[in-house]
Amino acid sequence: MKPASIVYLVTRIHGLRTHLVQQHDMQILTKARSMKEIGDNLIKTEYGTEISKLPAKEVDAVALEQIFLKTLVDRFLFVTREAQGKMQDLLNRYCERFDVENIKRVIRAKHSGEILEEPSLIPIPREHTLVNFPALLNSKDVEEVVSLLRETPYRPLAQKLETYKQATVTIVLEAALDDIYFSRVWELAGKVSDAEAVKELIGEEIDLRNLLIGLSMKIRDLSPNLIEETFTSSHHRIPRGRLQSLAQARLEDAPSLLATQPYSKLASEAVKISRGGSQMALEVPFLRQMYDDASKALRIHSFDAGYIIAYLMLCECEARNLVTITTGKQLGLSEDEISQATLGIQSKA
Amino acid sequence: MKRDNLAAETNRLLAKVGKRREFDKRLMAAYEVMKSAYTTLGYSRIQSEASAVGVLETKVRARSVMGVIVPEIVPGKIPPIISVTSASAYAAADRLKTLMPELLEIAEAEAKIESIAQELMMTNRKVNALERVLIPELMEQIRYIEGRLEEETLEEFFRAKRVKAVIRGKK
């Protein structure tokens, strides 16, 4: 018997899912002739309220991206508020991905001594974050950023500070942040009702993240030690040992090393992209895989907690697709080019 | 002399600028990768990835070529892009990074050609003014003065002759 709170939340999300922008509407957006037309088409969606506040002249890809990200955060936080018990704890931790992305942005800017302002961050309401971002933005260097995070869940970052100073690459700290984030989410994923379905989705994200980072660093010919440093301690289907072998092996050997699908296919895709056989961004096939599986999960796990995580993943997918469309339009990309860059769009219920 | 030297310098620089067409193709290919990164990650993420890379500091010095002040770009060390974590942003940064020294070289050559061309135009105008106006006028003046002097010499000769005849008549 499922807890009533989960049944309630899943039912709410069945309703919320109908608010997602449908594939047909996405295709209409890719055909839009101007940014204003995109704005007009989105008026009836959940983005409408924010878009209508924008003066017509200020409707551009940058302003729209801020709206898409704000709406994404609002959607995540709404679902979190509606949840109860362990599910709420898990979703609270799941939402920390925005904190992590913002901390990474601050670290990158402080690393090169650039001034970063609040509009460059994902807008997270102050009451929903444990991180004091205004203080981080005012900090003088990466060391101060890490010390300001001492009272937050990101305290273990301090252990990587020495490695960062020696290697002077932010990858070390960014990987540590991912590790903290996924460890915290993974820890609770196994404790909620329908843990298997939840772990399947979150686990795949972890695997794909590790694989993407590992392969992209192999393409860059970085040292195996540094590559190993970037893998998360939590893993799902790709065990730690396999990832370590991947770090040591040649890029060409990656597909055979990752014998299981879809990882082997993705590795082959990465090899093809690295040889210039495809103009596609390396992230695209990995994200496509993740969101396609989330889309499938919506059908398979219609009545369990997996549905909640799948919905959140598709919200993220929608935001990414909208960013791709508006940015592509602003850069003058053709309809076909934009369609190729978009990720798997959710299928109809 | 100055015009010849400037023309020789321009020819030398034109060879560098001649690579521009082929360079433009590579630059456009890099921009395509950049566009792909932008559409995948969005403006704010790309901006953030870019902020992990330091600034490429270059010095622009003034140099004199036959008295013409031309800019000379001294590129600093290209900042490392290793901290760019996203695969697509890194691919774009890597392409642009390799093109940067050549881009600066072509920019410098074009700026030099612009300054030298300006100076050549001025020098040409001066030469034309000398050849077509000033020198012909001076030649005309020389001819006039020579004519006048010849006339005056003749007059003087006749005057002397006449004076001589008058003096002889009186005797």
Per-residue model confidence as pLDDT tens digits over A27-57: 999 999 988 899 999 998 999 999 999 888 8
Write down the pTM of the prediction.
0.86
Q: How far apart are CA A157 and CA A184, in angstroms?
A: 14
Instruction: Convert the pLDDT of each residue in B83-134 to its tens digit.
Output: 899 999 999 999 999 999 999 999 999 999 998 888 888 888 988 999 999 9
Query: Which pLDDT does position A79 carry in this prediction?
Result: 96
- Contact yes or no for A65 and B44 at CB 8 A: yes
Round to whole Å and give the CA distance between A39 and A52: 8
> How do strand B58-65 and strand B68-75 relate by DSSP bridges?
antiparallel
Beta-carbon separation of A109 and B51 below 8 A: yes
Q: Is residue A324 pLDDT above 90, yes or no?
A: yes
pLDDT in tens, A218-276: 988 889 988 998 999 998 988 889 999 999 999 888 888 887 778 889 999 899 888 87
Nearest residue of B to residue A216, measured between CA atoms = B87
Q: What is the pLDDT of residue A56?
A: 82
Inter-chain residue contact A112 with B85, CB threshold 8 Å: no
Rounded Cα distance, A20 and A31, in Å: 19
Over residues A307-329, the mean pLDDT reads 95
Burial class (CB in 10 A: 0-12, 13-18, 19+), A18: exposed
Instruction: Provide the pLDDT confidence category of residue A348 given band limits of 50, 70 and 90.
Output: very low
Distance CA A166, CA A164 (A): 5
Distance between CA atoms of A136 and A148, rounded to whole angstroms? 7
pLDDT tens per residue across span A131-148? 999 999 999 999 999 999
Q: How far apart are CA A301 and CA A297, in angstroms?
A: 5
**CB nearest A279 (choices: B32, B47, B86):** B32
Contact yes or no for A65/A326 (Cβ under 8 A): yes
Query: Who's near B37: CB < 8 A, 6+ residues apart?
Result: A281, B46, B86, B88, B89, B91, B92
Handedness of CA A46, A331, B48, A54 (dihedral sign): negative
Three-class SS state of A91: helix
Rounded Cα–Cα distance for residues B92 and B31 (Å)? 8
Residue numbers in B near A339 (CB within 8 A): none
> Alpha carbon of B30 to those of A105, B96, B97, B102: distances in Å?
24, 6, 10, 14
Q: How confident is the model at residue A277 (pLDDT cuts 50, 70, 90)?
A: low
| pLDDT given at position A340 | 87
Mean per-residue pLDDT over chain A, rounded: 91
Residue A251 to chain B, least CA–CA distance (Å): 15
**Other CB atoms within 10 Å distance of the CB of residue B133:** 10
Closest-approach residue (CA) in chain A for B89 = A281
Residue A153: pLDDT above 60?
yes
Q: Residue B53 and residue A112: Cβ atoms within 8 Å?
A: yes
Encoded tokens for A249? 């092996």
Tell me the Ramachandran region of residue B42: left when phi exceeds 0, alpha when psi lies from -120 to 50, beta otherwise.
left
Ordered by start, the domain boundaries in chain A are 4-341
Number of Cα atoms under 13 Å in the Cβ half of residue A213: 26
Q: Which residues contact B138 (CB under 8 A, 6 or more apart)?
A: none
CB pairs under 8 A between A and B: 98
Whether A240 contacts A262, CB under 8 Å: no
* Interface pTM, i.e. ipTM: 0.89
pLDDT band at A281 (very low <50, low <70, confident <90, very high): confident
Q: How confident is the model at residue A87 (pLDDT cuts 50, 70, 90)?
A: very high
Quick one: three-class SS letters along chain B? Answer: CHHHHHHHHHHHHHHHHCCHHHHHHHHHHHHHHHHHHHHHHCHHHHHHHHHCCCCCCEEEEEEEECCEEEEEEEECCCCCCCCCCCHHHHHHHHHHHHHHHHHHHHHHHHHHHHHHHHHHHHHHHHHHHHHHHHHHHHHHHHHHHHHHHHHHHHHHHHHHHHHHHHHHHHC
Cβ contact B36–A69 (<8 Å): no
